[in-house]
Amino acid sequence: MDANMTHMSLLVFGVLFLTLGSGIWVGFSLFIVGFVGMTFFSTLPAGNNIASSIWATIEKWEYVALPLFILMGEILFRSGISEKLFNALVPWLYRLPGGLLLMNILSCTLFAAVSGSSAATTATVGRITLAELDRLGYDRRLAMGSLAGAGTLGFLIPPSLIMIVYAILAEVSIGKMFMAGILPGILLSSIYSGYIIYRGLRNPDIAPRAREHYTWRHRLIAMKDLAPTLILILMVLGSIYAGIATPTEAAALGVLGAFLFACINRRMNSRILLECLVGAVKTNAMIMLIVMGAGFLSRVMGFLGIPAAITTAIIEMDLSPYALMILLGGVYIVLGCLLDGFSIVVMTLPIALPMVTAAGFDPIWFGIYLILMVEVSQITPPVGFNLFVIQGLTEEPILNIARHALPFFFLMLLTTAILTVFPEIALYLPKLMTVK
């Protein structure tokens, strides 16, 4: 990069971190940085470009799926489905090494397949499991750490809100992105479970001896409590993979299914429905403000040539593909300490995606890689959302929770490394089937 481009880039990113550090909402920070960049380094009218970039960003029909999946998650959050998951899994897990600590992993894995949100998965499962594990005398540190790590599966296992945003911005199929997340999600869940079992074998005291005794009859009867979750997974993901519904239509089916289960569980009335609608509006407004601000900032940086200059500079370093991914991984870990996942995706994609595709990586694979990096940001202080959720449930200091989650931080990095060496883990299912 030449000196002028370097100075301009430093100023733009300096203003960005200054506004973010001042506590201004992320979406507004992005608009401010874009406005400053266009006003001082371009002759184009900033006001007109703000309006046109907002429209160009949000006019895509695919974004309709976003509020629908958010509403489905809000209804499920209040529907009692997590209690049913707990009842269904207890008879199967209580005798395994690590015992009911595995409940956090498997409950989050299953709930992630219907919620789409990391924070919602952590909060919904944590409300049930943390109190019960405390009551039974399980290792509290491992209970909190495993919940923090497993809660991030809400971003990786479809239907994922952040996958929808990535797919739209990267111009790849939402359905194929959903499919690409299945095997990596199962891999990460399995690695988490393996770690818990290892800890249980090494130190049986982390899981007290079970007082109850369950027969095979109990286990089979308990399976009926898994029915709501499995039916919702079939309705949402099955309709997409069978080719009979688009992701937006599947999201509408999911809202209907979640509403019906909430009614069956007697967890739905006019007050709860209003809470669900208000919660969905707030969450969607937050996400879309970030997306609109990032859309404007991306346009400004494109006009100024910053992404092309950074891409060229990194390509000229002549890094191997693996070295490039290690470099990007380090950048994402640092950003994860400062920004939420949606901000990381929409801010960095215009710069990172051209470099990654030029290095020969598939954009769908990179979406899964990026989501794993975003998952890491969910448990890194000071802006790890999952840490704040667990703090709200336990009143434990945030740094203590981050320390308990540290092993799962490294397990996520291990999964990312495996996925980088073996990209077919993410690409096998998208190549196997044709979806919309």
- Note whether 172 and 126 are within 8 A (CB): no
Amino acid symbol at 297 = L
Residue 181: per-residue pLDDT: 94
Look at residue 40 in the predicted model and tell me its pLDDT.
81
Give the chain's residues under pLDDT 50: none
* C-alpha span between 82 and 197 (Å, rounded): 23
Cα angle value 136/141/145 (rounded, 5°): 110
**Confidence at residue 382, expressed as pLDDT on a 0 to 100 scale:** 67
pLDDT, tens digit, 9 for 90 and up, residues 310-368: 767 777 777 888 898 998 888 888 877 767 777 788 878 888 898 899 888 999 999 99
Rounded-to-integer distance, Cα 390 and Cα 148, Å: 7
Distance of CA 153 to the CA centre of its chain: 7
Question: Would you say 152 and 412 are in contact if contact means Cβ atoms under 8 Å apart?
Answer: yes
Taking CA atoms, 161 is separated from 64, 120, 157, 165, in Å, by 11, 11, 10, 7
- pTM of this prediction? 0.82
pLDDT of residue 47: 78
Q: What is the pLDDT of residue 20?
A: 67
Residue whose tokens read 């960003």: 57
pLDDT at residue 291, rounded to an integer: 79
Could you write out the DSSP letters of every residue in 381-410?
TTS-HHHHHHHHHH---HHHHHHHTHHHHH
Structure tokens at 202: 């090494």
Residue 21: the pLDDT is 66
Q: Given this model, what pLDDT does residue 287 score?
A: 79
Q: For the stretch 135-162, what's the b/e string if a residue is b when 16 or more beta carbons lie within 10 angstroms of its beta carbon?
A: eeebbeebbbbbbbbbbbbbbbbbbbbb
Residue 118 CA: distances (Å) to CA of 95, 106, 108: 28, 14, 9
Q: What is the pLDDT of residue 213?
A: 73
> Which residues make Cβ contacts (< 8 Å) with residue 187, sequence separation at least 6?
415, 418, 419, 425
Contact 136, 100 (CB under 8 A): yes
